[in-house]
Amino acid sequence: MSGSEITGNREKVMSTHKCLEEGRTGLVVPIVDFNRCEGKDACVAVCPYNVFEVRKIDRSDYRELSFVGKIKSRVHGGMVAYTPHADQCRACGLCVKACPERAIKLVKV
Ligand code: SF4
């Protein structure tokens, strides 16, 4: 992925290059698609700013999953990546590249 064109759900995503040059927080946040995420920890391993935490999916989030998402969730033990420190994201894009499920996108705030 180029790091500059991550789109979806009509949300605008800014250039990661701009963020990196400025090293600023508060420009984008990572959004994790729980229907795709399997809690494999790749994002935790690569994020330099400890944005992610992998843990059991909350009941309310589980209820929001698609039918297939619920089946997948049961298969991988219901583990997903939350973003308790999303405000520390500097849009380096490492998590987007590292996620084997392509579950993460960066969204302009
Ligand atoms: S884009 Fe970089 S700083 Fe932001 S959550 Fe992903 S790995 Fe962490």
Quick one: which atom of ligand 1 is closest to the CA of 90?
Answer: 3
- pTM of the entire structure? 0.81
Q: How many A from CA of 70 to the centre of ligand 1?
A: 26
Q: pLDDT tens digits for the chain (109 residues)? A: 444 444 444 444 444 455 555 578 999 999 999 999 999 999 999 999 999 999 999 999 999 999 999 999 999 999 999 999 999 999 999 999 999 999 999 999 9
State residue 20's pLDDT score. Answer: 54
Residue type, 47: C
Give DSSP secondary structure letters for 24-56.
Answer: -SSSEEEEE-TTT----SHHHHH-TT---EEEE
d(CA 39, CA 56): 9
Those residues with Cβ within 8 angstroms of residue 50's Cβ, 6 or more apart along the chain or in another chain: 85, 88
- 65, burial (CB in 10 Å: exposed 0-12, middle 13-18, buried 19+): middle
Q: Which of the listed residues 15, 54, 87, 94 should we mutate to test ligand 1's pocket, taking the one with most ligand atoms within 8 A of CB?
A: 94
* Residue nearest atom 6 of ligand 1, based on CA coordinates: 95
CATH value of 16-108 in 3.40.50.740, 2.60.40.60, 3.20.20.10, 3.30.70.20 = 3.30.70.20
